[in-house]
Amino acid sequence: MIKRTLFFTNPAYLSTKNNQLVVNYPDDDKPTKTVPIEDIGMLVLENQQITVTNGLISKLVKNKAAIINCDSFHLPISLLQPLIGHSEQTERIKHQLNASIPLKKNLWQQTISAKIYNQAQFLEEKNIPNRKMYKWATEVKSGDIENHESRAAVYYWQHILGIENFTRAQKEVAPNNLLNYGYAILRAITARALVSSGMLPSVGIFHHNKYNAFCLADDIMEPYRIYVDVLVDTIVASEENYEELTTQLKMSLLQLPTMDVVIDGNKSPLMVAMSRTTNSLYECFAGISRKILYPVYSFK
């Protein structure tokens, strides 16, 4: 089932009744709205004047919905996660924590190879020379010790958006603002799926910054970044003004969870595919499998 993403930009009072999310607005002219809680996959709370009842939060968390809170600049700053995301969570976390270094290096090799391949596919779709990208995708070694990810990123960002001298960085000029927002949403989707699969988003296979609570999410989202890039590229190509991250642009980026991706030869909404990826990751930790299922970007 495809879960819905709800995006609140205006003041509102959010509560629950009969397993429904109930939305009341300060403006009496706006009618009360309801949404079945079981249909919600992500809730983005942007306005600072939104009130949420604890009863609603409890039901959303039990339903494994990702609740994203934004700061006064309307940018995502937090993700509410359940303490228990899977009935076998203790056992699954044990497998995750006991994963060997060679296994982690192999998983990172698979991750970066999939990421670079997807970037090469997107370059091919745009008729941009990409032979070296395909080559790099096949040459990634265990742990990516030769840093093919960085090499590919330099080439990719120099060409993909058609913007002269574009630099991909958190605080650089637009459309970095769009990419930052899209990746924040993707990170939340990934963390939600990891928790649902019974793992800790904070214990990574490659990322290990002690100040980062989402190291594993940052690892696993890498091959999925391409879908944010596609959305941003579409916005840039439309010649719409993207210097300011407007509500309309955010809504365009919030299409991400329902985008169709190809995984294991079949089309699937991105949010569903991410759950397949995180479950396959657990199987690798448990010794059931040696391969992570990642999506393959397809444009044909």
Alpha-carbon distance values, 72 to 47, 77, 115, 177, 249 (Å): 8, 10, 33, 16, 18
Six-digit token string for 20: 């429904």
Tokens representing residue 180 in the block = 């930052």
DSSP string, 189-243: HHHHHHHHTT--TTS-SS---TT-TTHHHHHHTGGGHHHHHHHHHHHHHTT---S
Distances from the Cα of 131 to the Cα of 110, 113, 128, angstroms: 19, 14, 9
For residue 143, CA distances in Å to 101, 110, 137, 155, 222 come to 9, 9, 13, 21, 14
Residue 149, annotated ligand binder? Answer: yes
C-alpha span between 80 and 57 (Å, rounded): 9
Name 15's Cβ contacts closer than 8 Å, sequence gap at least 6: 21, 22, 24, 52, 53, 55, 56
Q: Does 222 count as an annotated binding residue?
A: yes
Both tokens of 198, joined, read: 């019974």
Q: Is 88 annotated as a binding residue?
A: no
Q: Which residues pair with 36 in a beta bridge?
A: 20
Per the CB < 8 A criterion, the answer to whether 293 and 276 are in contact is: yes
Structural element, H or E, at residue 281? helix 270-285
**First-last CA distance in the chain:** 25
Q: Which residues are annotated as a binding site?
A: 149, 207, 222
Q: Which residues are annotated as a binding site for Mn(2+)?
A: 149, 207, 222
